[in-house]
A and B are shown apart, each in its own frame.
Chain A
Amino acid sequence: MIPEIGHYALVLALLMAVVQGTLPFVGASRGNVAWMEVARPAAYGQFLMIGLAFVALTWAFVVSDFSLQVVIQNSHSLKPMLYKVSGVWGNHEGSLVLWMVMLSGFGAAVAAFGRNIPPTLKARVLGVQGLVGVGFLLFMLLTSNPFVRVFPAPADGNDLNPLLQDPGLAFHPPFLYLGYVGFSVAFSFAAGALIEGRVDPAWGRWLRPWVLIAWASLTMGIAMGSWWAYYELGWGGWWFWDPVENASLMPWLAGTALLHSAIVVEKRDALKTWTILLAVLTFALSLMGTFLVRSGVLTSVHAFAVDPARGTAILILLLLAVGGSLLLYAMRAHTLKVGGVFAPVSREGALVLNNLLLSVSCAVVLIGTLMPLVLDAFGHKISVGAPYFNFITPFLAIPLILVMGVGPFLPWKRADLGAVLPRLGVAALLTVVAILWALWAHGVKPVMALVGAGLAAWAFCGAFAEIAERIKLFRIPLGDSLSRAASLPRGAWGTALAHAGLGIAVAGMVGTSFWLSEEIRVMKVGDQTPLAGYTFTLDKVEELRGPNYVTETGTFTIRDGDDLVATIDAEQRWYPVAKMKTTEAAIHTTFVSDLYAVLGDRTEDGTGWVVRLYHHPLVPWIWFGSIVMVLGGLLSLSDRRLRVGVPQKRAAPVRGPVAQAAE
């Protein structure tokens, strides 16, 4: 009965989405307030209905209702509860329901919190949001219904892929989707503004919180995915330039560009048509990410043919959304008034360069990801992997980070580099110190490691140099500086944190990519292996039993000289239902490095085990830096001028160049 309620709720949600996607447009163009107002209850209703369907599906997983096809295929009665719940979105059908929960949730949030948005624009934004919902709900009900029953119901399910039974991966998709779907709001604002034919700084200000939420979530989602790969796949890699990863990186790059160009719209009333285009493209890339991952086209072009209905449906959805909005863009973009002017060397100029480099990076990832598919269609089978991307990306990443350090120092409109660069003296000095340290600690080769260390230090120090400059640190009494720091807008702190976080993450990437130590050997119980100044001892290997797996657990003690550093357990698990082996790496983190041990197969003579031991310098900083970036985003979001429900007087749409005075 409960699955049927869920199914029915999806149908009702579709009907509400149809209403939300039609009446408000008509209302907005005719000035009919009642019809425009329909958007709000429709958005709430759609969210409520999809939420109901989501709860129904979760219920089916929690009680292991094996009369539902998705539950059979992705669950098992013995699975721990956390993974029964995360199994809801660990599959195609359920992940679509989650996607729709978020899409309708964002729609409801715009309806609830967008009180300052002019009624016609709001009606149109919600209308576009409704149309996207119609597309996805149709897709779900026609090709990917999660509530399909099976008769007779089997006694137990096929279990979820054990690699996915992991806390890191349980929450990776929700964050990723929150990011993807968050950009739908930017898309709706862009389409709404095109229909409206008006973009002003207020539009930029309404747009920014949604872009910030989406960007912070996507950053978090990507970081969690890479963290999972690091500890679960068993050799300490954290990014593989796999097409599935690239599919999430592209919207992140475009979204980061959007985040920055929206600032220019808000502060200077410039880059308006570009920002609109970027909002459309970012959501298009989010849709494409879903398409690439969900259609199976990435595994092999031939896998696409296994279920052509789904793949084709997503492709049509993608073409309608992107084609429709680009057509709208081509028809209306020229009607938008051109705003403020600026010199090439200025804050705007730096942000334009940021957008240029991020967009080209995005294009490079797109080319590298799609080219094998394109060439396959013409009969050439090629592979594009990490060596290709690692060769190309530094050309874009290095100038991007260099500009990132300088950009926040530049005044709007027109800047004098000669006056600005000396203020970065301390940051430059610390960068040189970092490079010299890397040289001393790890030698001159590879040179890229030194470059990377310098960039990390530059990004980090540049971010705080900007804050130091603004609070006049050491130039006025410390107490005055502190009170200035307290009254700085949170947006300024957010920028500094996010930029510093990137620096921290880059340091982690450099450390583990270039300075890793590794030992692969057979160890017997009692054997010792020296690695990077530590000694690993294999103490014992036991066979143990988990809830739905059996495991061979190897216990290692790590010593630094005679001092005990840690005792860690590395597991090799066997999941009998899924008939799969997984490794659980043993990791001890010292914050400046990770000690990492993997237990492999027993040797043929039965006396020893193959083990891999690693010393990963700085690697935790990749994820620590990502979290700092996310915190920076959230701090910006809490900035007074963006806060939802801010007193009307402050947030009243201030048009024209006045907006810059608030900063």
Chain B
Amino acid sequence: MKLTRRIAALALAGLLSAPALAVLPNEKLADPAMEARAREISKELRCLVCQNQSIDDSNAELARDLRVLVRERLVAGDSDEQVLAYVHDRYGDFVLLRPPVTGYTAALWFGPALVLLLAGTGTAVYMRNRRRDAEAAPATSRLTPEEEARLQALLAAQDGTGSGEGKRA
């Protein structure tokens, strides 16, 4: 309980302190290509004590340590994937801003496609049924005679006031 409260306090501190300067000049790698890779990797990693900030954006001490770690791994010859795997092994799923595809994140990764599929199918079925019902129903106007009379009166009145704006299709 005490630990969770501590984490909450840290998270709050991370939220409230202005994230003034994240990456500092002395962290940068000499090789611009490798530095660019480090920046891209940093955008995938969460600053663990901040509220939803990547280590690239955060000026927290821990974010700085992680940025240095990422660069050390790159200098040691790791590929981008290896660096991410290295950090993931040590800090768990929480550090990845793009969650891994596993059993419990299935809803996250396949949910959107499933929702789109269901919504799309639902819409298609609804439209087909609507058209079928409409074809089955008598094609004539579904207005009552009184409504029909009122409609004609209104249309006549509108034409009378010279409202010539197109009845587009």
Query: Measuring CB to CB, which residues of chain A are less than 8 angstroms from any residue of chain B?
Result: 161-163, 232-235, 237, 240-243, 298-300, 302-303, 306, 338, 341, 343-344, 349, 352, 356, 359-360, 363-364, 367-368, 371, 375, 378, 380-388, 391-392, 395-396, 411-413, 415, 487, 489, 520-522, 572, 580-583, 598, 600-601, 610, 612, 654-656, 658, 660-663
Contact = CB atoms under 8 A, between A and B. Distances in A.
B8 to A, nearest CB: 5
A392 B112 contact: yes
A382 B105 contact: yes
B97 A242 contact: no
Interface in B53-108: 53-54, 57, 92-99, 104-105, 107-108
A234 B18 contact: yes
Contact of B151 (A338, A344, A412, A656): A656
B108 A300 contact: no
Interface of B: 4-5, 7-8, 11-12, 15-25, 28, 43-44, 46, 51-54, 57, 92-99, 104-105, 107-108, 111-112, 115-116, 119-120, 123, 127, 130-131, 133-134, 143, 147, 151, 154-155, 158, 163, 165, 167-169
Nearest to B104: A380
A360 B155 contact: no
Nearest to A357: B116
Contacts of A384: 97, 99, 108
Contacts of A381: 92-94
8 contacts: A234-B19, A300-B11, A371-B105, A381-B92, A383-B46, A392-B112, A661-B167, A662-B163
B135 to A, nearest CB: 9
A386 B97 contact: yes
B20 A383 contact: no
A471 B98 CA distance: 48
Given A383-B96, A600-B20, A661-B167, A302 B8 contact: yes
Contacts of B95: 383
B89 to A, nearest CB: 15
A383 B51 contact: no
Contacts of A360: 112, 115-116, 119
Contacts of B107: 367, 371
B149 to A, nearest CB: 12
Nearest to A378: B104
Nearest to A364: B112
A660 to B, nearest CB: 8
B159 to A, nearest CB: 10
B25 A610 contact: yes
Contacts of B158: 661-662
Q: Which 10 A-B pairs have the closest CB atoms?
A: A385-B97, A411-B169, A387-B98, A341-B134, A600-B21, A381-B94, A582-B18, A364-B112, A382-B93, A583-B20
B104 to A, nearest CB: 5
Contact of B57 (A237, A412, A600, A658): A237
B115 to A, nearest CB: 5
B112 A338 contact: no
Nearest to B124: A344
Contacts of B116: 360, 396
Nearest to A488: B165
A43 to B, nearest CB: 32
Given A381-B94, A383-B99, A386-B54, A520 B23 contact: yes
Contacts of B5: 302
B153 to A, nearest CB: 10
Contacts of B4: 300, 302
Given A235-B22, A610-B25, A356 B119 contact: yes
